Chain A
């Protein structure tokens, strides 16, 4: 079965500090894509970062970076210099092709950035 597990339902971090959100997944596929999406209080789903499984180099987008450990099936998100606007739900997801394209989402981590 294809699953995504986010073991931290809620986290908080002080403004300007660094926080890491964990994500593990399970799939038998060798080619897939991994994503982190952010859902702020407006409820709009916003793509934060994307990683191709065949790439060893960890993806980065400004203050956001990932630690991708393929053998461990781990895909954590690090947010540096946290800002109040980072307060949101964060969803980890992966996409595989198994006859059709399938996206599997985790249950989310609620992050609160404290002033």
Chain B
């Protein structure tokens, strides 16, 4: 049973470009969470999604960030017009309802 998959593992963007991060949950998992981790810091919750629904986006910046989890395909975290402060590791986790989260390997975003 494949674990949570994230791609790309490393992403380099110039300021003003768009970043798209993908997350494929574990088989059978219908819940996806996105977190951001700055260097030497803990995980900060961003958004919680179920298929075709955003359940909780209280941790998402109001501008430039969006997330989706379509009926088919991976969950996407999109960051428009990236700035240097967006440089971080972005982790996706998936779970069954009311169950343990399993994490992907993360995408390290570097904004030049």
Contact = CB atoms under 8 A, between A and B. Distances in A.
A50 B101 CA distance: 11
Interface residues of B, number: 23
Given A91-B42, A91-B43, A108-B42, A97 B98 contact: yes
B48 interface: yes
Interface of A: 33, 35, 37, 42-47, 50, 91, 95, 97, 100-108
Interface stretch (B13-21, B65-73, B74-82, B102-110): B102-110
Classify the secondary structure of B's interface with A.
strand
A42 to B, nearest CB: 8
A110 B43 CA distance: 14
Classify the secondary structure of A's interface with B.
strand
B55 A43 contact: no
Interface in B41-86: 41-43, 45, 48, 55-56
B31 interface: yes
A44 B93 CA distance: 11
Q: Which of A46, A97, A104, A105 has the most CB of B within 10 A?
A: A105
B1 interface: no
Contacts of A106: 42
